[in-house]
Amino acid sequence: MDLKFCLIFCFFGHGCFAHLLQGLYCGLDNCYELLDVTRQSTKQEIARNYRQLAKKYHPDLHKGEADKKVAEEKFMIIARAYETLRDEGSRADYNYMLDNPDEYYSHYYRYFKRRTKIDVRLVVLVCISIISIVQYFSRKQRYEEAIKYFMTVPKYRNKALEIINQSQDGVKKVSSSKQNV
């Protein structure tokens, strides 16, 4: 049973990992072929070929809706190939993937390792700011609801007026005592 399972996995399982590479770099296409360059091409040659292809397939240069859609898809593929090959580190990782296609998970690690890194302090600062703003508005809303409630119930409204009158009497006494001095 185990031997049968292993044979089936080896036969069918190897092809199942091809979908893992679709999201990396240029997918199943070769970035060098897409830009019509070789592995030994310089950055300037890659940039020149990219600009030529970008002029040819830029979506703004096409009139019809169908032509524009095809050009946009092609332009996105070319732009992704250029982004992969213009950076030396990314290009080295891509070459490693081409040389060692069986190391699927290593390619995933290398690909996502190069992604844009965000400063953790900035993320924490933004999260704390958002939480503080939400708390402020929540408390302000609850305060206003409480004031509206107290103003509508006569018992609390009368008590508030009594407190205001007492505080005004205290202010008058203090101001009159200051005038006497």
| Stretches in the chain below the pLDDT threshold 50 | 1-17
- The residue segments making up the domain with residue 93 are 26-117
Report how many domains make up the chain: 2
Residues 152 and 87 in one domain: no
Whole-prediction pTM? 0.52
Listed in sequence order, the residues at least 6 apart from 173 whose beta carbon sits closer than 8 Å to its beta carbon are none
* Best CA proximity match to 34, nearest among 102, 66, 80: 80
Give CA torsion, residues 168, 169, 174, 175, to 10 deg: 70
Write the CATH number for 64.
1.10.287.110
Using the 3D structure, point to which of 117, 134, 161 is the last residue of a domain: 117
Check whether residue 164 and residue 95 sit in a common domain.
no
Tokens 């002029």 sit on residue:
55
Q: Is 180 contained in some domain?
A: no
- In the numeric block, which tokens belong to residue 7? 């044979």
CA nearest to 25, candidates 95, 72, 80: 80
pLDDT value at residue 107:
66
Same domain, 112 and 153: no
Residues 33 and 81 in one domain: yes
5 part of a folded domain: no
> Do 112 and 47 fall into the same domain?
yes
Which of the listed residues 80, 95, 117 is the one where a domain comes to its end? 117
Alpha carbon dihedral 84, 87, 93, 94, in 10-degree steps, equals 30
Q: Are residues 104 and 133 in the same domain?
A: no
Residue 98: CA atoms inside 13 Å, Cβ hemisphere, count?
Answer: 17
Q: Break the chain down into helix, strand, coil percent, rounded to 5.
A: 80, 0, 20
Amino acid letter for position 143? Y
